Amino acid sequence: MLSRQWIHGWLLLLPALAFIFLFTHIPAITTIWNSFQSTPRGRRPSQFVGLDNYERLIGDPVFWKVLVNNLWFALGTIPVSIALSIAMALFVNRAFAGRSLVRMAYFTPTVLPLIAVANIWLFFYTPGFGLIDQVLGAFGRGQSNLLGSPDTALGAIIVVSIWKEAGFFMIFYLAALQAIPPQLAEAARIEGAGGWTIFRRITFPMMMPTTLFVSVNAVINAFRLVDHIFILTGGGPDNASSLLLYYIYETSFRFWDTAYGATLTVVMLALLGLFAIGQFFLFDRKVHYK
Amino acid sequence: MLANILKGAAASAALAITMTSPARAVDLQFYFPVAVGGGAAEVIQSLTDEYLEENPDVNIDAVYAGTYQDTITKVITAARGGNAPQLSVALAVDMFTLLDEGLILSFDDFITTEEDRAWLDSFYPAFMENSQTGGKTYGIPFQRSTPVLYWNKEAFAEAGLDPETPPANWEEMVEMGKALTRKDDSGNVEQWGVRIPTSGFPYWLFQGLTTQNDVILANSDGNETNFDDPAVVEALEYLVSLSTEHGVMEPGIVEWGATPKAFFEGQTAMMWTTTGNLTNVRDNAPFDFGVAMLPAHKRRGAPTGGGNFYLFEGSSDEELAAAVDFIKWITGPEQSAKWTMATGYVAPRPATWETDTMKAYAEEFPAVLVARDQLEHAVAELSTYENQRITQIFNDALAAAITGEKPADEALAEAQAQADAILAAYR
**Running DSSP on this structure, what letter comes out for residue A37?**
B
Q: How far apart are CA A3 and CA B320, in angstroms?
A: 60
Please tell me the predicted confidence (pLDDT) of residue B228.
93
Q: Taking residues B259-283, what's their average pLDDT?
A: 89
Number of helices and strands (H, E) in chain A? 15, 0
- For residue A266, the distance in angstroms to the closest alpha carbon of chain B comes to 21
Residues from A in contact with B at Cβ < 8 Å:
41-43, 62, 122, 126-129, 137, 140-143, 145, 147-150, 233-234, 236-239, 250, 253-257
Q: Taking residues B390-398, what's their average pLDDT?
A: 94
Please tell me the predicted confidence (pLDDT) of residue B170.
94
Contact A142 B189 (CB under 8 A): yes
Please tell me the predicted confidence (pLDDT) of residue A42.
67
Please tell me the predicted confidence (pLDDT) of residue A30.
93
Q: Is residue A22 part of a domain?
A: no
Q: How far apart are CA A129 and CA A5, in angstroms?
A: 70
Residues of B in contact with A145 (CB under 8 A): 250-254
Q: Taking residues B308-317, what's their average pLDDT?
A: 90
Contact A253 B200 (CB under 8 A): no
Q: Given A141, A254, A257, which is nearest B69 (Cβ)?
A: A254
Residue from B255, B263, B271, B391 to probe the interface with A (highest A Cβ count within 10 Å): B255
pLDDT digits 0-9 by tens, A141-154:
777 888 888 889 99
Per cent of chain B over pLDDT 70 is 93
Contact A236 B399 (CB under 8 A): yes
Q: Do residues B406 and B400 touch, judged by C-beta distance below 8 A?
A: yes
**How many residues are present in chain B?**
427
Residues 6+ apart with CB under 8 A from B380: B126, B129, B130, B220, B303, B304
Q: Taking residues B221-242, what's their average pLDDT?
A: 93
A266: pLDDT strictly greater than 70: yes
Residues of A in contact with B69 (CB under 8 A): 254
Residue from B403, B406, B412 to probe the interface with A (highest A Cβ count within 10 Å): B403
- For residue A150, the distance in angstroms to the closest alpha carbon of chain B comes to 7
Distances (CA, A) of A211 to A15, A84, A89: 32, 13, 13
As a whole number, the mean pLDDT across chain A is 88
Contact B252 A237 (CB under 8 A): yes
Please tell me the predicted confidence (pLDDT) of residue B400.
93
Q: Is residue A28 part of a domain?
A: no
Contact B101 A256 (CB under 8 A): yes
Nearest chain B residue (CA) to A253: B73
Q: B120 by DSSP, 3-state: which?
A: helix
Return the CATH number at A94. Answer: 1.10.3720.10
Q: Is residue A50 part of a domain?
A: no
Is the model more confident about A179 or about A281? A179
Q: Is residue A36 part of a domain?
A: no
Q: Do residues B226 and B412 touch, judged by C-beta distance below 8 A?
A: no
Nearest chain A residue (CA) to B185: A140
- Tell me the CB-side half-sphere exposure of residue A28, using CA atoms within 13 A: 10
Element (H, E) at B308: strand B305-312
Q: Is residue A134 part of a domain?
A: yes
Q: How far apart are CA B287 and CA B260, in angstroms?
A: 13
Q: What is the pTM of this model?
A: 0.85
Please tell me the predicted confidence (pLDDT) of residue A289.
59
Please tell me the predicted confidence (pLDDT) of residue A249.
93
Please tell me the predicted confidence (pLDDT) of residue B269.
94
Q: B145 by DSSP, 3-state: which?
A: strand
Please tell me the predicted confidence (pLDDT) of residue A286.
65
Q: What is the 3-state secondary structure (H, E, C) of A211-257?
A: HHHHHHHHHHHHHHCCHHHHHHCCCCCCCCCCCHHHHHHHHHHHCCC
Residues of B in contact with A147 (CB under 8 A): 253, 255
Task: Establish whether this prediction's ipTM goes over 0.85.
Answer: no
Number of A:B CB contacts under 8 A? 95
**Chain centroid offset of residue A218 CA:** 4
Domain ranges, residue A144: 56-286
Q: Given A42, A143, A250, which is nearest B102 (Cβ)?
A: A42
Please tell me the total count of domains within chain A.
1
C-alpha R_g of chain A: 24
Please tell me the predicted confidence (pLDDT) of residue B200.
82
Residue from B233, B413, B391, B403 nearest A241 by CA: B403
Ordered structural domains, chain B, with CATH: 24-144+305-372 (3.40.190.10), 147-303+386-426 (3.40.190.10)
Q: How far apart are CA A241 and CA A157, in angstroms?
A: 7
Do you find a cis peptide bond into A237, omega within 30 degrees of 0?
yes
A238: pLDDT strictly greater than 80: yes
Q: What is the 3-state secondary structure (H, E, C) of A15-31?
A: HHHHHHHHHHHHHHHHH
Q: Do residues B387 and B97 touch, judged by C-beta distance below 8 A?
A: yes
Per cent of chain B over pLDDT 90 is 54
Q: Given A129, A148, A253, which is nearest B252 (Cβ)?
A: A148
pLDDT digits 0-9 by tens, B115-147:
888 998 999 988 998 898 888 999 999 989 899
Residue from B223, B287, B233 nearest B421 by CA: B223
B70: pLDDT strictly greater than 80: yes
**Running DSSP on this structure, what letter comes out for residue B276?**
G
pLDDT digits 0-9 by tens, A244-254:
999 999 999 88
Residues of A in contact with B188 (CB under 8 A): 137, 140-143
Query: Which pLDDT band holds residue B149 (cuts at 50, 70, 90)?
Result: very high
Please tell me the predicted confidence (pLDDT) of residue B38.
58
Q: Given A43, A143, A237, which is nearest B189 (Cβ)?
A: A143
Query: Which pLDDT band holds residue A288 (cuts at 50, 70, 90)?
Result: low
Query: Which pLDDT band holds residue B214 (cuts at 50, 70, 90)?
Result: very high
If you average pLDDT over each of B53-57, B174-178, B281-285, which comes out highest?
A: B174-178
Beta bridge partners of B403: none
Please tell me the predicted confidence (pLDDT) of residue A1.
57
Please tell me the predicted confidence (pLDDT) of residue B16.
44
Q: Taking residues A171-191, what's their average pLDDT?
A: 90
Please tell me the predicted confidence (pLDDT) of residue A89.
93
- For residue A42, the distance in angstroms to the closest alpha carbon of chain B comes to 4
Q: Do residues B151 and B168 touch, judged by C-beta distance below 8 A?
A: no
Q: Given A140, A143, A257, which is nearest B186 (Cβ)?
A: A140
Q: Given A141, A238, A255, which is nearest B399 (Cβ)?
A: A238
Angle at B117 between CA B112 and CA B120, to 5 degrees: 125
One-letter amino acid at B410 equals: E
Contact A237 B73 (CB under 8 A): no
Please tell me the predicted confidence (pLDDT) of residue B237.
95
Q: Taking residues A46-65, what's their average pLDDT?
A: 90
Per cent of chain A over pLDDT 90 is 44
Please tell me the predicted confidence (pLDDT) of residue B17.
43
Q: How far apart are CA A61 and CA A57, in angstroms?
A: 8
Q: How far apart are CA B30 and CA B17, in angstroms?
A: 26
Please tell me the predicted confidence (pLDDT) of residue A171.
92
Q: B84 by DSSP, 3-state: which?
A: coil
Residue from B73, B201, B392 to probe the interface with A (highest A Cβ count within 10 Å): B392
Please tell me the predicted confidence (pLDDT) of residue B217.
93
Distances (CA, A) of A216 to A203, A268, B251: 20, 15, 40
**Running DSSP on this structure, what letter comes out for residue B93?**
G
A192: left (phi over 0), alpha (psi -120 to 50) or beta: left
Q: Distance from first CA to last CA of chain A, Å, rounded?
A: 38
Percent of chain B as helix, strand, coil, to the nearest 5:
50, 15, 35
**Chain centroid offset of residue B84 CA:** 23
- For residue A188, the distance in angstroms to the closest alpha carbon of chain B comes to 56
As a whole number, the mean pLDDT across chain B is 88
Element (H, E) at B144: strand B140-145
Q: Given B251, B261, B265, which is nearest A145 (Cβ)?
A: B251
Helix spans in B277-332 (H): 278-284, 317-330
Q: How many CB atoms lie within 10 A of CB B171?
A: 11
Q: Is residue A33 part of a domain?
A: no
Q: Is residue A40 part of a domain?
A: no
Q: Distance from first CA to last CA of chain B, Å, rounded?
A: 79
Query: Which pLDDT band holds residue B13 (cuts at 50, 70, 90)?
Result: very low
- For residue B204, the distance in angstroms to the closest alpha carbon of chain A comes to 16
Contact B400 A238 (CB under 8 A): yes
Residues of B in contact with A146 (CB under 8 A): none
Query: Which pLDDT band holds residue A19 (cuts at 50, 70, 90)?
Result: very high
- For residue A105, the distance in angstroms to the closest alpha carbon of chain B comes to 29
Residues from B in contact with A at Cβ < 8 Å:
69, 73, 76, 97, 99-103, 186-189, 198-200, 250-255, 257-258, 261-262, 265, 267, 386, 388-389, 392, 395-397, 399-400, 402-403, 405
Q: A231 by DSSP, 3-state: which?
A: helix
Q: Is residue A15 part of a domain?
A: no
Q: Do residues B290 and B153 touch, judged by C-beta distance below 8 A?
A: yes
